[in-house]
A and B are shown apart, each in its own frame.
Chain A
């Protein structure tokens, strides 16, 4: 059995449900995710900006392969997840694939960003 046939995979939406440019929000298997077309493929990401947890469905601007959060202008390459410009953390992607015109993701574990990159939770002060 391939990964895509694993029971942890869930259908997010039809590819046709996605705008040509921009992020769309979906609830799937108890998760909130954002999906976007990227060339002939798709990317599915957590709903928050890795910087300060801004909801990207409102603040995320897509231009070509670049995603920009308008709150503090962090940017990423939406195809690779790599940072551009002043961003300091890459995007996380859910494992995804297109199957019969639908977008499927591995929803077995929720992706989240570490907002305690200073590890202050453990800092004695």
Chain B
């Protein structure tokens, strides 16, 4: 156990850091108001500075490592642990005297119930030793014992309090965690879990119509949002326009859940399927699982089917690969949405 003191021109805050624990996780679980977005070495939001020799790099090959100014002592809080008692310089925009009441925790958990939904998408459940109360749309960091860094996965389920978290994963060639799920699936696998985290969340009290543009496994956190919305009868008073995209028909999943959701409030819920690959030799069916099907990318289908009328003024949740997110953001902005009404996590 080491003592880590986060310091800036406005103050200082000391927390305990366990052996091998990232500075971000140590800080967040003790209420430190540290900046982050992905918590998984991708986004570089948590950049801070450390003195030479005081910290240990947990994942030198993290995707965002190349963005660091090593000569200035920059580190990723999410991929750095303390080698000794140390001081970490964080942005002076952070009020280190204002501790957060929402504190994620670290768990030793079990990964169970792996289910292949398509050839490269699987669902699984993580069983925690105690209950947690995530906000719909939040995510957890997961790591198997042989992984260097954590990966971020959004929950697909929503309960106000639960010890079982459902996830969806896309197969990543060469990915260690991915290989556990797809190549060597073993029930009851030990994993470390840290959470809940993230800010792309939904509260029914916002009382807004929704637009959801999602591709592939990017649907995960949005399923959680939709389940909470459905549970509180949100769509009895508010509308949902959703486009769910995949390359081919056989890449789609969660369709029965989406069809059931639409059937719960057909006057207010509109859900469409977008398939980006051309279908050779036969025509695209009009519907798939009773959901209208279209050829094209998610953002193009959203504009063609819904247009500004179905997007402007709404609260948007988007999920998917980076290029799809960019296209959807551009489409939403052109429909007049302010950036404050566009919510997403960028893990990839």
A residues in contact (CB < 8 Å) with B: 52-53, 58-59, 61, 63, 66, 68, 70-73, 75, 85-86, 118, 120-121, 123, 125
Contacts and interface: CB of A to CB of B under 8 A. Distances in A.
A58 to B, nearest CB: 8
Contacts of B7: 125
Given A118-B8, A125-B87, 7 more contacts: A53-B67, A59-B326, A70-B326, A73-B342, A118-B9, A118-B91, A123-B89
24 contacts: A52-B44, A52-B45, A52-B47, A52-B67, A53-B67, A58-B326, A63-B330, A66-B333, A68-B339, A70-B325, A71-B43, A71-B346, A72-B37, A72-B45, A73-B329, A73-B339, A85-B338, A85-B339, A86-B339, A118-B9, A118-B91, A118-B92, A123-B89, A125-B87
Given A85-B338, A85-B339, A118-B91, A61 B72 contact: no
A125 B325 contact: no
B286 interface: no
In the A-B complex, the 10 residue pairs with the closest CB atoms: A73-B339, A118-B92, A61-B330, A63-B333, A70-B326, A70-B329, A63-B334, A85-B339, A125-B89, A125-B7
B67 A75 contact: no
* Interface size of B as a range: 20 to 34
A78 to B, nearest CB: 13
B49 interface: yes
A61 B92 CA distance: 29
Nearest to A74: B339
Nearest to A68: B333
A85 B340 contact: yes
Interface in B257-309: none
Contacts of B87: 125
Contacts of A59: 326
Given A71-B346, A118-B91, A121-B72, A61 B333 contact: yes
A61 B8 contact: no
Contacts of A120: 49, 89, 92
Interface of B: 7-9, 37, 43-45, 47, 49, 67, 72, 87, 89, 91-93, 325-326, 329-330, 333-334, 338-340, 342, 346
* Residue of B8, B91, B333, B342 most packed against chain A (CB within 10 A): B333
A36 to B, nearest CB: 14
A53 B67 CA distance: 8
A61 B326 contact: yes
Contacts of B44: 52
A125 B72 CA distance: 13
A68 B330 CA distance: 9
A120 B346 CA distance: 28
A53 B89 CA distance: 20
A97 B101 CA distance: 53
Nearest to B49: A120
